[in-house]
Amino acid sequence: MSSTTEPDGPPPTTPLASASLASTQDDRDLLLYESRLERPIRVKAPELERSGRLRHLIFSGQLTVDLLEELGSVADVIRQLSRHRSGQDFLINLLHHKRAMLYFTQPSTRTFLSFMAACQILGITCNEVRNPQTSSETKGETRFDSIRMFSSYFDLIIMRSPIARLAESCAYLMNDLERSGNRSVPIVNAGSGADEHPTQALLDIYTLQRTFQFEGSTDSSLSTRFEELQKLPGCDGLTKGLANKTYGFCGDIGRGRTVRSLAMLLANYENVRLVFIAPDHPKLVMRDDLRQRLLAKNVTIHELSSFETLLDGKPVIEQLDALYMTRVQKEHDTPEDADCFAKIDFSRYCLSKNLVSRMRPYAPILHPFPRDQHSGEIPPEIDNDDRAMYFRQARNGMWIRSALLAHVFDADGQILRYFRNEFQK
Ligand code: NCD
């Protein structure tokens, strides 16, 4: 497979099929799309839209700042409607005629369940294939045949796969079917190998949007109002919104797809700095393709190996506006990695009460979850801290995924109109 030097091109190390390995029809199917996968995101994105609306959601680069705002507002409305029986009844009838396939061939708890809950909120019927051993793939069926079959029975395919960019290839398959007059349905990427997890980034941004309104509501448990907060030491110059902030990411930066998708979205906001704190090992630090893409967006990045490294003359832990913790993705370790990682002191990449006490008073702590009880990157004693946002973040996933599904099925306008007419009179 050729590698690309285009900053917004695909990751060069993606384990897609390569010509020499194309021994099965599955491999040959993937090769069919290889030249399309190699194109920069800005060229691919329009093919994944219809009439200015997302048709397929494959990578976070499709989510503009304006669309993120729009989806966040719809999610807020769905959340409010869901507090009332009449609002719930309205929502559940909205997409009652639609069916979704959740095709998850990689472990998942939150993404799977929150998509299922999102479908249920909007009345979409769900079905699932989680174990390919129970499908005809064991009888030699190709993945593309499976996907095409799903599209015969369902109106939407939400998929998670260990294969990077399989979801993207499936979107092209659907586009080709559409072009030839066949049945075709939207594809939503719920995690593709080590590559992308756009809907996790979506819920991370939604959580940050709510937190940085500083309204002291459910997503920011701060009792201190914004105006008072600005007077606190170190908080002068604080602004509302996601711009003008320093975001920290800590842990397994190299292998975490959620970091990749979120960092790309944060880079779209004005005057943002991204700080990556990871053990100094080539597999754990940022991959070069992400570094190049971020630099091409002119965002300031710092790659550090400790919370104590100085940033603007102070330890970085004291300088962050938000901290995104991650788990070490041990399932990707090779035997050589395991030997090498044994020498790393991972406890330096775990939070403690003491570290949290040094963080800015409003700075949310996020984590895509699951957290690893053995590594302890976020010990449970932090859960009651005002800044611990991860459980609310996971619940936000349900609301923002509902908003996404409403957007894909062009039902968001109806939701906003109903809310205006029935709840804001
Ligand atoms: C993440 C994933 O699967 O990429 N979890 C999630 O979807 N919330 C992160 C992880 O597994 O570490």
* Residues 133-152: tens digit of each pLDDT: 887 777 788 899 999 999 99
Does residue 191 have its Cβ closer than 6 Å to ligand 1? yes
Q: Are the CB atoms for 62 and 408 separated by under 8 Å?
A: no
The label of the residue with tokens 């998850």 reads 104
61 lines ligand 1 (CB under 6 A): no
Q: How is residue 126 written in tokens? A: 């769900």
The catalytic site residues sit at 110-111, 139, 160, 197
Local confidence band at 235 (pLDDT 50, 70, 90 cut-offs): confident
CA 211 to ligand 1 centroid distance, Å: 21
Q: Which of 158, 188, 200 maximizes ligand 1 atoms within 8 Å of its Cβ, making it the mutation to test the pocket?
A: 200
Residue 21 has pLDDT above 70, yes or no: no
Reported as a single tens digit per residue, the pLDDT across 71-89 is 999 999 999 999 999 999 9
Specify the pLDDT at position 57: 98
**Distance from Cα 186 to the centre of ligand 1, integer Å:** 22
- 225 pLDDT tier (thresholds 50, 70, 90): confident
Q: Is the pLDDT of residue 351 over 60?
A: yes
DSSP state of 269: S
pTM of the predicted model over 0.75: yes
Indicate whether residue 397 lines ligand 1 (CB < 6 A).
Answer: no
- Tell whether ligand 1 has an atom less than 6 A from the beta carbon of residue 260: no
More confident residue, 14 or 182: 182
Pick from 323, 211, 312: which is nearest to 275 by CA? 323
Indicate the average pLDDT of the chain.
Answer: 92
Domains of the chain: residue spans and CATH:
24-196+397-416 (3.40.50.1370), 198-216+224-395 (3.40.50.1370)
Question: Which pLDDT tens digit goes with each residue over 177-214?
Answer: 999 999 999 999 999 998 999 999 999 999 999 999 98
User: At 220, is the pLDDT very low, low, confident or very high (cuts 50, 70, 90)?
Assistant: low
Q: Is it the case that residue 231 has pLDDT exceeding 70?
A: yes
pLDDT on residue 236: 83
Rounded average pLDDT over 367-383: 96
Tokens 């973040």 -> residue: 393
Query: What is the residue with the minimal CA distance to atom 11 of ligand 1?
Result: 370
Contacts for 202 with CB less than 8 Å, ≥ 6 apart? 60, 63, 68, 71, 400, 401, 404
Q: What pLDDT, on the 0 to 100 scale, is given for residue 8?
A: 54
CA-to-CA distance for 190 and 149, rounded, in angstroms? Answer: 19
> For the segment 384-416, what is each residue's pLDDT rounded down to a tens digit?
999 999 999 999 999 999 999 999 999 999 999
pLDDT-derived band of residue 7, with 50, 70 and 90 as boundaries? Answer: low
pLDDT at 5: 37
Tell me the pLDDT tens digit for each residue of 119-128. Answer: 999 999 999 9
Write the burial class of residue 359 (CB in 10 Å: 0-12 exposed, 13-18 middle, 19+ buried). Answer: buried
The label of the residue with tokens 């190049």 reads 292
Cβ-count burial 34-69 (b if 16+ within 10 Å, e if not): beebbbebeebbeebeeeeebbbbbbbbbbeeebbe
Q: Strand locations in 67-124, DSSP E?
A: 99-104
Half-sphere exposure of 62 (CA within 13 A, CB side): 25
Beta strand 310-311 with 314-315 is antiparallel
Q: Is the CB of 161 under 6 A from ligand 1?
A: no
Q: Which amino acid is at 400?
A: I
From 115, 206, 325, 369, give the residue whose CB has the most ligand 1 atoms within 8 Å, as the site to mutate.
369
Residue whose Cα lies nearest atom 6 of ligand 1: it is 368
Which amino acid would we find at residue 96?
A: H
Is the pLDDT at 17 greater than 50? The verdict is no
pLDDT higher for 422 or 214?
Answer: 422
Say which residue the tokens 């998708």 belong to.
Answer: 261
Per-residue pLDDT, averaged over 333-353, amounts to: 93
Beta bridge partners of 276: 249, 303
**pLDDT tens across 311-335, in order?**
999 999 999 999 999 999 988 888 8
Q: Is the peptide bond before 7 cis (omega within 30 degrees of 0)?
A: no
